[in-house]
Chains A and B, each alone.
Chain A
Amino acid sequence: MKPLSIPILRRGQFYESLDRTELKDIRTGAVIAEVSQANAGMIRRDSRSTSRDALRRIPAEKLIRICEEAGYLFMEADLPLGDRQSQSPQSYVACLSATTGLPHALVRRNMQKIHQVFTQMSTILRGLTRGLEWRILDHGVGEQAGVPVSYFCTADSLGVVLPSNSPGVNSLWMPSIPLKVPVVLKPGREEPWTPLRIIQAFVAAGCPPEAFSFYPTDHEGSATIMDVCQRALIFGDQSTVERYASNPAVQVHGPGWSKVIIGSDQVARWRDYLDVIVSSIAENGGRSCINASAILVPAEGDAIAEALAQRLAAITPLPFDDPQAQLAGFANPKMAEAINAMIEEGLKTPGAEEVTAKYRAGSRLVERDGSTYLQPTLIRCRDFRHPLANREFLFPYASLIEMPQERMLEEMGSSLVVTAITDDPDFIQKLISSPVIDRLNIGPMPTSRVQWDQPHEGNLFEFLYRRRAIQRVAVS
């Protein structure tokens, strides 16, 4: 089969570059696509004129309707991949799976999530704006809860440097379009498919094409996007987080260090919560920052660890198109090897034991059908300071630590999501007051559960808009 050609989008215009990278099937090495690469100068040049007016002219209410239509098209339609070719939803699933290792079942689940973002856009925007009337977005002034308000946009475009780990991360930038801010996207190396398909769904539903730039590019190109966009989202590791920590124009999505904690009041019933914990660790192939990477319990640590390990070890690599597949292969086998080596190294420090090893078929690092996998791993750490206790890896990995409930909040450090299984009002109040928890789920629900009317990772509206005081008297 002739490889597909993935173009650059320069403010909605397709552009075929002379620099291309090959995207390969991670199992067979067959070239699936050639991806046009943007040079940094091009990105800089394109950024000199704004395309914000194209979105500003369209009422927010209409943009929300466009999102609903786009959601349908994203799921069902053949959408352009360039000037001369289009891609069916089936081909999208197969290509994305082949180049990232995400099994079809998980790709479809991510599609559903993206579909929900499209179709629930009105709810999402209400959550982000705390119920702002749409016409305030159109005119910049109005009234909210009896209070006069005026908001202005702080950016001509939103730059987004995307990762390849999960298609779901695209949900974070999508509200930018109904918020009337054009996007400049740098897709992850192995995953140009989803952002391009989302863009094409928006356009097919009636969004002005010039609101979308899509630049597959190198490090220099990424840095240029961060530089030329007045607001930018970036996904990266801790060093990325630190690099942009003091830059208010950049929202960094780094490691989540998400956790499940069980309160003293509920720990005796731990068997009831195993499903929630396993989902929290292993959903979406364990590849998201909202997957739990540490489980904190006040008692019964060994028993809970054994039971969890047994369940996690039952999750094994399956063919990409198996509907039961839950694990993702690694696009880069060296990364799997490096992660495996890090865990082995960590286990040399006393105070940690891998519980999954004895229940698992084969070793942690395995190959199946030409693809490299890391099988689920649970480490029982005696102390939260152990090097493996608060780590996050790109597969179902978690540590389990027993510690008194009163020490949990002070020791656990910052966490993107905490699922706290407790009914203790004092403990719940302490959790609510804690500044280290970004999103708090109280009760037995997986860390991945999202409620669309609340901001789920930063607030894009507050990032893109600022409120000003406005006063007016009539001219006599």
Chain B
Amino acid sequence: MNETSAATPGLAEETEAAAGTVQSTDDTVGEIYVDDPRMTCRNVDVYYGEKQAIFDVSLDIGKNQVISMIGPSGCGKSTFLRCLNRMNDTIDGCRVTGQIKMDEQDIYDGGLDVVPLRASVGMVFQKPNPFPKSIYDNIAYGPKIHGLSDNKEHLDSIVETSLQRAGLWEEAKDRLDQPGTGLSGGQQQRLCIARAIAVSPEVILMDEPCSALDPIATAKIEELIDELRERFTIAIVTHSMQQAARVSQRTAYFHLGKLIEVGETDQIFTSPRHKLTEDYITGRFG
């Protein structure tokens, strides 16, 4: 079963509504549903203490697809991303309501365990954050804590595969015992990606993974994201519209905590239907 081309056919028909740009509406413009969703979010609100950060967001995340989330800073795109593997739990006073389902299981259900959830929804952060350990131990950390390897050889092979998939094997294979913090920024970020895929998650969340990197390193990561799509579902938050256009199949535009518009990446960038989306991608603000 080849899923790379499974880009939601239903969405194409939606473009008929794009005849004139919609001026303003509280509802999200565009198709929030996909045929083969990995995760479904319905009416998600997020509060930091008294302050509401996300307003009634509903969105599907398609299997083996890259969905990018764009929007001006402070629009809530990162907050939304962190809801998907409950990373917001670590923030004091953060409250999430609504429904986020993964494989028919509500991840905010009281009975659900956050440990397996995060094992299946990995995350890569804005700044590369390798642990102060060797490259090998960085990758082996996840498999070790989850007890995924049977023996040393198995662990070695997990480390090797992960590094290969993250495109770091050639650069790192001779220095596996050196600290991960000794790598360059781009390498560190690929190390973090390798660390995330070492536990074979289904979804990888990436929170502006290239914002701290130079253009060459960024290009490498983008290439890597494209390759990873074959095996993983990826949700990426980015402040760069070009990047969103290059790596993603679907794009969601957030504004002041609301999901304004979602659709196929080509459509969003060529014929946005919402005024705010248009203003943003044409560079009028943001």
A binds B: no
